Amino acid sequence: MTNESMEQEHLNRLGDVQNEPRRMLQPVDGYEKVPLVSIEQAIAPLVGLVPDIERRAYIA
C-alpha cells in the first residue's frame, strides 16, 4: 500500500462520519464469555473478506 493510498484510506474513514447512526447504540455485550484465542485464530473467518488481513495481523 502506497503512502498516497494510505492517506486516502485515512481521509475516507474521517469523511464517513455523517453515515454514523444518530441514535444511541447498545453496548457490546457478552464478549467476556468468549475464550481468548490468538490473533491468527481470531482473523480466520475474515481472511476471504478483508484484503491483506494476515499481513496486518502479523504486524500487529
> What average pLDDT does this structure show over 50-59?
93
DSSP 49: T
Strand, helix or coil at 52?
coil
8 A C-beta contact, residue 26 and residue 19: no
Whole-model pTM over 0.85 = no
For 4-48, what is each residue's pLDDT tens digit? 777 777 666 666 777 777 888 889 899 899 899 999 999 999 999
User: What distance in Å separates the CA atoms of residue 49 and residue 27, rounded to the nearest whole number?
Assistant: 25
Short-list 4, 10, 6, CA closest to 52: 6
Cα–Cα distance, 5 to 29 (Å, whole number)? 35
Q: What confidence score (pLDDT) does residue 1 get? A: 63
Residue spans per domain, the chain: 36-60
